[in-house]
Amino acid sequence: MIDIPGLPEPDAGPVFGLALLVHIAAGITAVLAGLIAMLTRKGGEWHVGAGRVFLGGIAALFGSMVVMVAIRWPATVHLAVLGGVALAAVLLGWRNRRRGGSDGAHIAWMGLAYVTMLTAFYVDNGPHLPVWERLPDWSFWLLPAAVGAPLTVWAIRRNRPPRSVPAREPEPTP
């Protein structure tokens, strides 16, 4: 058994251990980069840079997850599904921006990727975390979305382009 401060992991060999180290680093990177992207000016240098790091972090999370899921199959198939959803969402969000899509769709896809990443973390680790260990299992699946969905909707509304007011006809001059 490998004990990462409070999170017991089965000792599944050196390949699993290396994948786990990559996974932890990628997860921390993705969480922090996602926060920076969320909290900085949309389209600005920090936002774009953090968004690229977030995309890379999710890709690395997915790659390391595939290795760990293959070693511990079928017990972790649910994590493979969550990883696939997170990767698909981040790629769709990235593609949306590259093709000049709407801000709302971009925010929705990236928000889904972030929430799904956190859901996978809590589903896998929640039973071992202080305070979270007291929650029922279903809460690990629902709480990230219960917090993330309203924040995503708020961000979409906040970043909506201003509604254009129809031009008034000039009044006839007498």
Kindly write down the DSSP assignment for every residue of 26-37, as one continuous string: HHHHHHHHHHHH
Q: Which residue did the predictor score with more confidence, 8 or 108? A: 108
Q: Write the single-letter amino acid at 84.
A: G
At 99-114, the pLDDT tens digits run 988 999 999 999 999 9
pTM for this entry: 0.85
Average pLDDT, the chain: 90
Distance CA 98, CA 73 (A): 36
The DSSP output letter for 41 is -
Number of residues that this document lists for the chain? 174
Give the Cα-Cα-Cα angle 88, 11, 117 (nearest 5 degrees).
20
Cα 93 to Cα 102: distance, rounded to the nearest angstrom? 10
- In this structure, what token pair is assigned to residue 101? 């899509």
Residue with tokens 């590259």: 98
pLDDT above 70: percentage of residues in the chain = 87
Burial class from Cβ neighbours inside 10 Å (0-12, 13-18, 19+) for residue 159 reads middle
